[in-house]
Amino acid sequence: MRVLGLDPGLRVTGWGVIELIDNRLRYLGDGTIKSDDKLSLAERLGQLHRGVLAVIGEWSPDGAAVEQTFVNVNPESTLKLGQARGVVMLAPALAGLQVGEYAPTQVKQAVVGTGRAAKEQVGMMVRTLLPGCLVKSPDAADALAVAICHAHHCATKRRIGV
């Protein structure tokens, strides 16, 4: 099973692709999709959408997973992040993929073993769990962590027959 993990952001959206073979994880690729902050919000959302579609076209994942939005102190920032997240979720859904959603604490729990892990711990565990992983940015590391979380959840569901 090939999984696309996505860490949505309006400025930078991280992506990571892994493969689950039996109970082993294999790193395939990672990167970021950036929007031009000189453009209108609609144009920036279009850039994100096209970027995610390009990643899907290149890697042909079987499923996708997106990190849920946390609430910022600034309501305007939270709203813009929510819009970016919606666009990032829409692309795999329109491509016919099931899209899983995970809270940041769920992702950290699945990757590090505690829901309160620091970003650095998540990055280190991603590199440990995915030998050969390049991790081009913290956003890509977070996206790979989301993909790992989704792969674990899917494998558990298969084992228990859900």
- Catalytic annotation, residues: 7, 67, 139
Measured over the CA atoms of residue 146, residue 135, residue 93 and residue 50, the dihedral's sign is positive
Pull the structure tokens for residue 127: 């590199």
Report the DSSP beta bridge partners of residue 66: 6, 101
Q: Are 25 and 18 in contact (CB under 8 A)?
A: yes
Report the DSSP beta bridge partners of residue 9: none
Nearest to 152 by CA among 119, 123, 110, 115: 110
Helices H / strands E in the chain, number of each: 5, 5
Residue linked to tokens 């950036």: 34
Instruction: Name the CA dihedral angle for 136, 138, 142, 143, rounded to a multiple of 10 degrees.
Output: -40
Report the DSSP beta bridge partners of residue 100: 65
